[in-house]
Amino acid sequence: MLESTPPLPVHRGRSPGSGWERLAYGVHRLPSQPIPADAGWEAKAGARRTALVADLWAWKPLLRADACFTHLTSAIVRGWRLPQLPAGLPIWIVQSAGEHPSRRGGVRVIRRAGPTPYDDVDGLPLATVVETIAACANDLALLDLVLLIDCALHRDDTSVAELQAAAAVRRRGAPLLREALALCDRRTESAWETPFRLLHHVCGIPIVPQVDLLSEGRLLGRADLVIAGTRSIHEFDGAGHRDSDQHRRDLERDRVLSAARITRRGYTAQDVASHPHTIIREACASLGWTFEWSRLDPWWPLWNESCFTAAGPVALTARVSRKQVRTRRRE
């Protein structure tokens, strides 16, 4: 059910007094709960979405008649999987080029010919899924954009055909969107599975994602990645696998797989971030190939530019900041 009232009280005009948070000139709301420093990735993402929804309810009355929220603003509210985003990102709004753009601080306005179609999500006007992803292609790195698309496809929020149609239109970000569509896979089920899958793919390892493992008609489970033509599977083990009950189930499953002569190798986020050569070396061993470091050449730029690294969020902030400066100069 869509919300019909703001999640937090909103006040427009002069400050009502202490205890209120100023979002922009003439826009105030009560502050949201702070995000604990030790919160996990998913908990932080949920808290970030809650805080953003409260902010957007305060911004909503200030939108032009044909405007709506887009880009990462829309993606966060929709609850899509995202990498670690930097703090201080602007609110993205798209509106008709015929309307005067908003000049309030903390807002980035994208102007397009004619009105942009939008959906009503939590009572907020959000650019459609296709328009949201197309706008994100303006600024995100390739791996981050693939992560976004993987999630939208997995949730059936859109289709490859719809995104291909958007990528065929002459617009900013269309070349990167076409490149991302060649790498996306709707079967990806978690955030870290996207870089884990792409690591194998761009290094030339033949893989099949999300395969049901059968032995004599018995379902043994589902594998994250099967090395094609082998009885080896590579899986990403997230934080949930450290739970004692889950760990016990994992060990039981490993014994069943071993009895079926299936070799399972589990990897963590640290392995993907710091030891990708180990993953690829072991995949090559399963295929009977000789490992060569040059296999990783396509991986490094894909990884280093993404927000999965420490440098990625800094680069994203710099890209957005430069565009904000250019926009103000044109105005």
Where does the chain have alpha helices with state H?
A: 41-59, 71-77, 129-136, 142-154, 160-167, 174-181, 193-202, 244-259, 269-274, 276-287, 299-304, 311-330
- Counting Cα atoms < 13 Å in the Cβ hemisphere of 192 gives 17
Q: Write down the pLDDT at residue 241.
A: 47
Predicted local distance difference test score (pLDDT) of residue 255: 75
CATH classification of the domain holding 256: 3.40.960
Same domain flag for 175 and 316: yes
Looking at the fold, whether 25 and 101 belong to one and the same domain comes out as no
39 and 68 assigned to the same domain:
no
Domain count, the chain: 3
Q: What whole-number distance in Å separates Cα of residue 331 and Cα of residue 74?
A: 25
Residue 133, domain member (yes or no): yes
Is it the case that residue 2 has pLDDT exceeding 50?
no
- Answer yes or no: is pLDDT of 283 > 90: yes
Q: Does residue 154 belong to any structural domain of this protein?
A: yes
Give the per-residue pLDDT at 325: 46
Average pLDDT, integer, range 237-245: 60
68, burial (CB in 10 Å: exposed 0-12, middle 13-18, buried 19+):
buried
What's the confidence (pLDDT) of residue 330? 46
Say if residue 44 is in the same domain as residue 68: no
Do 67 and 181 have their domain in common? Answer: yes
Q: Is residue 195 part of a domain?
A: no
Contacting residues for 34 by C-beta, under 8 A, at least 6 apart: none
What are the structure tokens assigned to 192, written together?
A: 């870290």
Domain assignment present for residue 157? The answer is: yes
Q: How far apart are CA 156 and CA 206, in angstroms?
A: 26
**Domain check: are 70 and 160 in the same one?**
yes
Residues 176 and 76 reside in one and the same domain: yes
Residue 302: inside a domain: no
The dihedrals phi and psi of 118, each to the nearest 5 degrees, come to: -140, 165
- Among the residue ranges 71-80, 211-220, 264-273, the one predicted with the least confidence is 211-220
pLDDT at 28 over 90: no
Rounded average pLDDT over 295-299: 98
Please indicate, yes or no, if residue 101 is contained in any of the structural domains.
yes
So what's the pLDDT on residue 62?
78
Higher pLDDT, 290 or 243: 290
In a shared domain, residues 286 and 145: no
Same-domain pairing of 316 and 182 = yes
Residue 19 has pLDDT above 60, yes or no: yes
Task: Give yes or no for residue 115 having a pLDDT over 70.
Answer: yes
The answer as to whether 191 is a domain residue is no
Select, from the ranges 43-52, 53-62, 91-100, 273-282, the one with the highest average predicted confidence (pLDDT).
Answer: 273-282
Q: What pLDDT score does 77 carry?
A: 94
Residues 170-176 have a mean pLDDT of 93
| Same domain? 233 vs 161 | no
pLDDT of residue 127: 96
- 246 and 160 part of one domain: no
Residues 218 and 84 in one domain: no
**Domain with 1 in it:** 1-59
The per-residue pLDDT for 16 is: 76
For residue 28, the cross-strand partners are: 11, 22
* pLDDT for residue 71 is more than 90: yes
Q: Flag whether 139 is in a domain.
A: yes
248 has a pLDDT exceeding 70: no
Residue 125 bridge partners (DSSP): 120
